[in-house]
Chains A and B, each alone.
Chain A
Amino acid sequence: MSGTVVALLDAPSSKAFGMAPFVLRREDGQLVVMGISELRGRPLDRALLDLRIRSGDALEVAQGPQVEGAEDAVAGWIGAQFLERLENLGEQGRILAAPLHRRIGSPASHGLGDRGYFWITGHARLMRELETWVQKAGHMVLQNVAQAQSRDLAEMMDWTLPESALTQAALLFTSCPEDREQQLRWTLRLRHGQGHSLDEEALLNELEHLRARLSSPTPIDDQLKEIRQPRDEQVYPRSREYSPTLGGSCYA
């Protein structure tokens, strides 16, 4: 299905790194929902979209890109505040910001005012990007939980993949001791909401185990080298991105 991106649904925050469904205007003028959604491919009433934009639940995209929306196409999202916060976290922040800068510098990315940047990609591929980022941030946090910026990084992992066990471990072990019990209980509630039936002790064991495994010396340095690439290097060559003009799949 081809068309022009006119809105992002479920408005992602300027503080977040993640994804969102999007709305495509087909050549016949019909609006359809795209993205990882049960509503995928369904028509969307213009008045309803306008209502969602007015209420802040959708972000309007002016002069959006033309895309060929593949089955699992989704909008990737990097919030402007997320990027800014990362850059204020010293060397580690700059390392973690590097792939994000390359992403938003690519021709496939589009700015949405001071809110953030989006691009159209495949869901599985984007999940891998998010997981890789969280993994790298998680290594940094769990190797230095007492470091000042580790708490900030843990919170940014939460703004990326809050349900990741690595994020939950990072948040728990960077909490101040008096808040730790409450953080553990909150994590347990979220796990229960996902249908997990573990108890507090089992959850703590799981997160302790994760911390022990990741806080020991690991090939993290190699991973860091891997992402220490010059900012102008295109990690994702243009040919692997969606092509607005070639009419192929929107992502490699």
Chain B
Amino acid sequence: MAPTADTVRFGHAYFSDQGREDELAAVREALEIAAGREALQPRRAGNDDVLRAEELLEACDPRPIYAYLGDLHPALGKVGLVVGRTWVASERLQGLSHCDSGGVAARCAGFGCLQENEVEKALLELSSPAPCDGWEQHFGVEVEQAYGGDAARYVRGETPALAALDEYRRRFVSHAEAQEIEDKRRLWTWEFRFSAAPTQEEFVAFVCTRNALKELNELRRKGWPELPENVAILGQQHDSLADAFSSEHARHCLGGEQLGGDQ
């Protein structure tokens, strides 16, 4: 089944605040979350720009849990959790942006073409508060116009046809290309902010590197529960997080495809 705009899943890259003191913390905590024993919590903000974006979007109380539609960002975690589309249901969606809101607030990299006095307006125009009615239709149209309807190209992070984007994102992409900035994906990948965690049944995959798999296996030997059968373990033969998160199997899963074996 080829991915469509309606099947693309959410990616949340997880890391632990305790990882420096406890080698196994990130994998153990991600395991507990994917097994439904702990709830996914908002992470500590990486910088003040994220907090500023949240303030401008009135999304800071409670602080949201972030996820990207169809993407696991390797800079943001040690374990990738893929979550089904039902996460947006049951009033858990707090809001969304059509790109990385923290990047807009920071005016960094491809967002660097924004003037300081444009930040608030850009953020508000690129974002919607819950209930975000019609977002699926909007995303579908964008995938249709930007990628000829091939959602796999969105999930692979291909640069969209500029005509499909709004004026701000066209500016971001043009600026990034002029500056030869390679990491452009955050300029058009949809960001979702949630006020509550997914349920265990909504987790679809646990994406990890070979190093993280070693830790997962150790936890299993130490008596931690195995990942429930509904959660596939992907990416494990890769040594770098970036490769694991963008591996063929992880992308298929993010695109909404059913994987073989235990799926």
A contact set with B: CB distance below 8 Å: 9-16, 18-21, 33, 35-39, 42-45, 47-48, 51-57, 74, 155, 158-159, 161-163, 186, 188-197
**Pick the contact of B240 from A35, A162, A191 — CB < 8 Å?**
A35
Distance of A21 Cα from B99 Cα, bound (Å): 28
B261 close to A188 (CB less than 8 A): yes
Report B66 CB to chain A, min CB distance, Å: 14
B19 close to A15 (CB less than 8 A): no
Distance of A30 Cα from B108 Cα, bound (Å): 16
B262 close to A56 (CB less than 8 A): no
Distance of A124 Cα from B94 Cα, bound (Å): 47
Distance of A42 Cα from B181 Cα, bound (Å): 9
**Pick the contact of A20 from B47, B211, B243 — CB < 8 Å?**
B211
A21, A56, A194: residue with the most chain B Cβ atoms closer than 10 Å:
A56
Residues from chain B with a CB closer than 8 A to the CB of A36 are 238-240, 243
B155 proximal to A (CB < 8 A): no
Tally of A-B residue pairs with Cβ under 8 A?
149
Contact status of A56 and B220, CB under 8 A, knowing A10-B211, A37-B243: no
Interface set, chain B 93-108, CB cutoff 8 A to A: 108
B249 close to A194 (CB less than 8 A): yes
Distance of A21 Cα from B78 Cα, bound (Å): 13
- Closest-by-CB residue of A relative to B79 is A57
B15 close to A13 (CB less than 8 A): no
B240 close to A39 (CB less than 8 A): yes
- Closest-by-CB residue of B relative to A15 is B218
B23 close to A37 (CB less than 8 A): no
B23, B232, B235, B259: residue with the most chain A Cβ atoms closer than 10 Å:
B23
Report A40 CB to chain B, min CB distance, Å: 8
Residues from chain A with a CB closer than 8 A to the CB of B17 are 55
- Closest-by-CB residue of B relative to A41 is B182
Residues from chain A with a CB closer than 8 A to the CB of B217 are 158, 162
Residues from chain B with a CB closer than 8 A to the CB of A56 are 15-16, 18-23, 25-26
A192 close to B261 (CB less than 8 A): yes
Residues from chain B with a CB closer than 8 A to the CB of A18 are 210-211, 214, 239
Residues from chain A with a CB closer than 8 A to the CB of B74 are 38-39
**Pick the contact of B210 from A44, A47, A48, A163 — CB < 8 Å?**
A163
A-contact 0/1 string along B246-259, CB 8 Å cutoff: 10110000000001
A197 close to B241 (CB less than 8 A): no
Can you show 29 pairs from A to B with CB atoms below 8 A apart? A10-B209, A10-B240, A10-B241, A12-B211, A13-B24, A16-B211, A20-B240, A33-B242, A36-B239, A37-B239, A37-B243, A39-B240, A42-B183, A48-B75, A51-B47, A52-B15, A52-B75, A55-B16, A55-B78, A56-B20, A56-B26, A57-B78, A158-B218, A162-B214, A162-B236, A192-B260, A192-B261, A192-B262, A195-B249
Residues from chain A with a CB closer than 8 A to the CB of B18 are 56
Residues from chain B with a CB closer than 8 A to the CB of A21 are 239-240, 242
**Pick the contact of A13 from B214, B226, B248, B261 — CB < 8 Å?**
B214
A158 close to B46 (CB less than 8 A): no
A16 close to B214 (CB less than 8 A): yes
Report B248 CB to chain A, min CB distance, Å: 8
B5 proximal to A (CB < 8 A): no
